Amino acid sequence: MAFKRVFRGGVSTPHHKNTLKSETSVLGTPEKVIIPMVQHIGAPCTPTVKKGDTVKVGQIIGNSDAYVSSPIHSSVSGTITRVEPMLYASGKLVMSIEIQTDGKQEVYEGISPPEVNNREDFLKAIRNSGLVGLGGAGFPTHVKLNPPKDKDVDSLIINGAECEPYITSDYREMIENPTGIIEGIQLVLDYLNINNAIIGIEDNKPDAIKLLAETSKSDKRISIKSLSSRYPQGAEKMLIYATTGRTVLSGKLPADVGCIVLNVNTVSYIAQYLKTGMPLVQRRVTVDGSVVSNPQNVSVPIGTSLKDLFDFCGGFKSQPYKVLMGGPMMGIAQYSLETSVIKNTNAILAFDKKQGDLPEEWPCIRCGKCIQACPMNLLPLELNRLVMADKFEDLDRYHILDCIECGSCSYSCPSKRYLVQSIRIGKDAVKRKVNRV
Amino acid sequence: MENRLFVCSSPHLRDNVSTRRIMLDVIIALIPATIAGIIFFGMRSALVVVATVAASVLTEYIMRKGLGRGQTISDLSAAVTGLLLALNLPPSIPIWIAVVGAVIATGLIKQLFGGLGQNFMNPALGARAILTVSWARWMTEWTDPLFVDAVSTATVDAVSTATPLGVLKEGGASTFSYLDMFLGNVPGCIGETSALAILLGLAYLLFRRVISWHIPTFFVGTVALSTWILGPGGVFTGDPLYHVLSGGLLIGAVFMATDYATCPMTRKGRIIYAIGCGALTVLFRLYGSMAEGVSFAILLMNIVTPMIDRYTVPVAFGGEKHVE
């Protein structure tokens, strides 16, 4: 494996993988959980319970008839105390369900391993499990696993890159549950009739590469690819390029180049669900950052508030200034510790003012570092200039919609310009215009 | 509501590079050339450097204040402009002309067009061009370096002598050795004569990743190749090494043509631009009325830069070429 195909651009961020050695600890049952009805890309769920109802672990509490959606289950047993819009990870108000726990953690009666005999059963089971992409984007997995009939999918790509600094929740899965990952891969290969799976892992995690290679030794369909540790290696298009050499064309999906991409945690959950039938109600979260007393990986019930999570990790060493859901490159800053862990939350990070503050913006000196850093080969400085001058009509010429918002441009800018931040505004404006026409 | 945490859009992590650090790196890279100038042309060179740097920084300070904008002298770019200008002036330049040049560079060419990153031509070179046409006599009066071989020149403390390119222009046979030209022991502008000092600066800039190798290589390569082909005695009779080591080519290719604000943004654009700089330099040197052509070549390519940028918009990864 001497040859490493590297995507264009990207940046060498510090890794800060402080929690690599942290075995996953388990947070028991919090006093209450808040479970939002949006935990995935697609149609929001509608609550199927009302205030005063009692629920048990694994019981459906929100669902939707839409295809691109995923049901939401209670992660605890207890009583519904509120069903109303509450503060959500994105900063908006979203319909959410608050459950006061009874501490018994009684399992819902209907929970049993699903009967799966064919592809249809398999996809149905995945939908019922409430599984969405656990790597961050939260796309419903049953939709991903069911590409349009005319797409000839020949490769399953498993994302173990984990290129964001600090986060180690994928790494811990690879170390703690390698057999689960391989079993999950085999299930997907079998039911979807695919003959080739590639697990892509950044080369700063050699033990994970070795462990998965050993575990998958007997299955010739599965191979491991060591990837260069360069951000954003875990971005879908970069990962597909690095593992297969295929280029996903602008506006197209992985299935168009014969690929399905799943995160390591996602695929291992598939194996777990088929064995137990317990819907997705618990996940591993990396808790880290300069002000956290005991950084570690924690397995928590979905809906646990950030406050409970930080308390479990020994609270704060000093006043937190900024709290992120996700990594420092693409994570979302949180207004409040009242928001809760959702299905695609892979990390919660807390920083002090020095690290968390927004740097002062200086004039662009046209050094071109952002161009070299852009994995999509765009011109971030030009897009920034056009957006700041309100010249939205020119943005298309510079392919603004191809931006994957990885933040490499802003990271590399010596003038600390808010490049990707302004590009987001531009993308929004262009999309709205496209929709209007 | 409780005390809200600070929120902003991602990324929340920044590299520790800064504009000031880049400018400081350029100043550090220029130190060898500055020292070489002082060694070869005496303490007067140091006076010119001090005068232009001080005038440039002061001009920026006054302009920003007068225009009611925030102060920017701490980004060190004004100091870089002053230093670059000094290194592109003859050692015997009257101090007041050097100061006028610094005011033109920073006040007129840089600040009036919006300050750092907004100027459409290299401030130091633009000022040098204005000085060259306004005070031609002073700008083309060259001093012999201190260590010049007394046999090779008529007068020891000559006020006026010819540069290697001047000798070539007049059709004379050169008496300058390649070694003297490499070390900088030849008449010329304060900072341009020592190839060694400039290459040291280049090595530092490459090491610090302030610039990439493309512009210097393609610029100098084009000049070397063209002067070799277009030799005085027919095709392939030229002396490329003489052309590379003489005049302002190296300082131009390393420090002036690589100016971020006035060169294209993309690698492809920068290569086109560097080849253009080289071709124009050769055109001016071989077929122009003046001996030197580097600064006008770079200035002309500065003006072409927006057009190069317009036609070298890269194709996005997985994207299709945009139809004009």
pLDDT the model gives residue B321: 56
Identify which of A321, A324, A381 has the shortest CB distance to residue B265: A381
Q: How many domains does chain B have?
A: 2
CA distance B305 to chain A (A): 12
pLDDT the model gives residue B324: 41
Q: Which of B118, B139, B160 is the last residue of a domain?
A: B139
Return the residue of A nearest to B70 by Cα: A362
Is-contact B117 B261, C-beta < 8 A? Answer: yes
pLDDT the model gives residue B149: 56
Residues B47 and B96 in one domain: yes
Residue B154 has pLDDT above 50, yes or no: no
Q: Are strands A282-288 and A259-263 parallel, antiparallel or unpaired?
A: unpaired
Residue B153 has pLDDT above 80, yes or no: no
Chunked in runs of 10, what are the mean pLDDT values of chain A (437 residues)? 80 95 94 96 96 96 96 97 94 95 93 95 97 91 94 95 96 97 97 96 96 95 95 95 94 94 97 97 96 97 97 96 96 95 96 93 94 96 95 89 96 97 94 74
Contact assignment for A379 to B117 by CB distance below 8 Å: no
The CATH number of A119-276 is which of 3.40.50.11540, 3.30.750.24, 3.30.429.10, 3.40.50.620?
A: 3.40.50.11540
pLDDT the model gives residue B169: 82
CA distance B269 to chain A (A): 11
Of A207-211, B161-165, B224-228, B313-317, least confident by mean pLDDT is: B161-165
Q: Which of B139, B170, B204 is the last residue of a domain?
A: B139
Contact assignment for A331 to B12 by CB distance below 8 Å: yes
Residues B191 and B216 in one domain: yes
| A194 conformational bin, left if phi > 0, alpha if psi -120 to 50, beta if neither | beta
pLDDT the model gives residue B215: 97
Residue B175 has pLDDT above 80, yes or no: no
Residues B266 and B228 in one domain: yes
- What is the secondary structure of B68-136 as a DSSP string? T----GGGSHHHHHHHHHHHTS-TT--HHHHHHHHHIIIIIIIGGGTSTTT-SS-HHHHHHHHHHHHSH
Element (H, E) at B151: none
Share of chain B above pLDDT 70, in %: 94
B316 three-class SS: coil
Contact assignment for A413 to B14 by CB distance below 8 Å: yes
Of B144-158, B196-210, B230-244, least confident by mean pLDDT is: B144-158
Smallest CA-to-CA distance from B292 within B97, B129, B134 is with B129
Interface test with A, best of B15, B64, B80 (most A CBs within 10 A): B15
Sheet containing A32-36, strands listed edge to edge, beginning at the edge strand earlier in sequence: A32-36, A93-101, A78-87, A54-55
Share of chain B above pLDDT 90, in %: 79
Which residue did the predictor score with more confidence, B2 or A258? Answer: A258
Hey, which residues 370-399 in chain A have their CB within 8 Å of chain B?
A: 371-372, 375-379, 381-382, 397-399
Identify which of A237, A338, A356 has the shortest CB distance to residue B317: A237
pLDDT the model gives residue A434: 73
Residues B215 and B123 in one domain: no
Smallest CA-to-CA distance from A161 within A370, A7, A377, A341 is with A7
Interface predicted TM-score (ipTM) of this complex, two decimals: 0.89
The parent domain of residue B120 ranges over: 19-139
Residues B129 and B164 in one domain: no
Contact assignment for A411 to B6 by CB distance below 8 Å: no
Average pLDDT over residues B212-237: 94
Q: Using a CB–CB cutoff of 8 Å, tell me whether A176 touches chain B.
A: no
Residues B62 and B193 in one domain: no
Residues B36 and B116 in one domain: yes
- Cα A285 from Cα A331, distance rounded (Å): 13
B261-307 per-position pLDDT tens digit: 999 999 999 999 999 999 999 999 999 988 889 999 999 999 999 99
For residue B155, name the pLDDT band (cuts at 50, 70, 90): very low
CA distance A105 to chain B (A): 31
Return the residue of B nearest to A371 by Cα: B266
**Domain for residue B9, yes or no?**
no
Q: Which of B112, B139, B166 is the last residue of a domain?
A: B139
Smallest CA-to-CA distance from B56 within B34, B83, B30 is with B83
**Domain for residue B5, yes or no?**
no
Domain ranges in chain A are: 119-276, 369-436
Element (H, E) at A348: strand A347-351
pLDDT the model gives residue B73: 92
How many cross-chain Cβ pairs, A to B, lie less than 8 Å apart?
165
Identify which of B14, B260, B314 has the shortest CB distance to residue A367: B260
Residues B132 and B156 in one domain: no
Residue B151 has pLDDT above 50, yes or no: no
Predicted TM-score (pTM) of this structure: 0.92
Residues B25 and B164 in one domain: no
Residues of B in contact with A323 (CB under 8 A): 5
CA distance A273 to chain B (A): 34
User: Which residue type occupies A214?
Assistant: E
